[in-house]
Amino acid sequence: MSKAFTRESDDESGAEETASFRPQLPPGTRNYITREGADRLKQRLNELLEEKQAMASASAAGTTLEAEQRKIESAIRRLQQILNSVVVAELPPDQEKVGFGATVMVQHGSGEEAAYRIVGVEEADPERGSISWISPLARALLSARAGDKVRFRSPAGSEELTIMAVRYSV
């Protein structure tokens, strides 16, 4: 029978695959991550492995949660792939300059202040102030120092930012 005439639920292999929302790195670029980010991913992987073990025990007792097990196994595979691809970035020797892992306090042209932490693509969370090191804003900030002004082109247009402070958590 042609694949066109099957229901998606009939496709068992597709049930195991989940869409990857992982941002793409430029070719040849290393997948850097902070030590804290790597530790969080490892902790999440351990939690999922424990959950999988508990579900396996429940399955042995007669309870079957196949869809949930496939979902957990998929998440485990995804985290293992990520952990196999990441490189933990060390703090830069010159901590006066903006680098990977830095928290940068900036003042926008409007006078509004904001803090951004430059992290890996796997741990970026712009709503919480963590931006990927490959983002346009992070690229504008990298290598600058407190007191420097940098130009940043946002979707709203070009803007000048003043770097107020650069901090690294050790």
Instruction: For residue 123, name the pLDDT band (cuts at 50, 70, 90).
Output: very high
Reported as a pLDDT band with limits 50, 70 and 90, residue 97 is: very high
Rounded to whole angstroms, the Cα distance separating 123 from 121 reads: 6
Task: State the CATH number of the domain containing residue 36.
Answer: 1.10.287.180
- Report yes or no on 97 lying in a domain: no
Q: In the prediction, which pLDDT does 64 show?
A: 59
User: Which of 88, 121, 145 represents a domain boundary (last residue)?
Assistant: 88
Local structure of 55: helix, strand or coil: helix
**Per-residue pLDDT for 34 more than 60?**
yes
For residue 99, what is the DSSP state?
Answer: -
Q: Is 13 among the domain residues?
A: no
Q: Which of 116, 84, 88, 104 is nearest to 145 (CA)?
A: 104
Residue ending a domain, choose from 88, 120, 143:
88
Domain limits for position 67: 22-88
Q: Is there a domain that residue 125 lies in?
A: yes
Per the CB < 8 A criterion, the answer to whether 152 and 159 are in contact is yes
Span 138-167, pLDDT tens digits: 999 999 999 999 998 888 889 999 999 999
82 & 108 share domain? no
pTM of the model: 0.73
Number of structural domains, the chain? 2
Q: How confident is the model at residue 20 (pLDDT cuts 50, 70, 90)?
A: very low
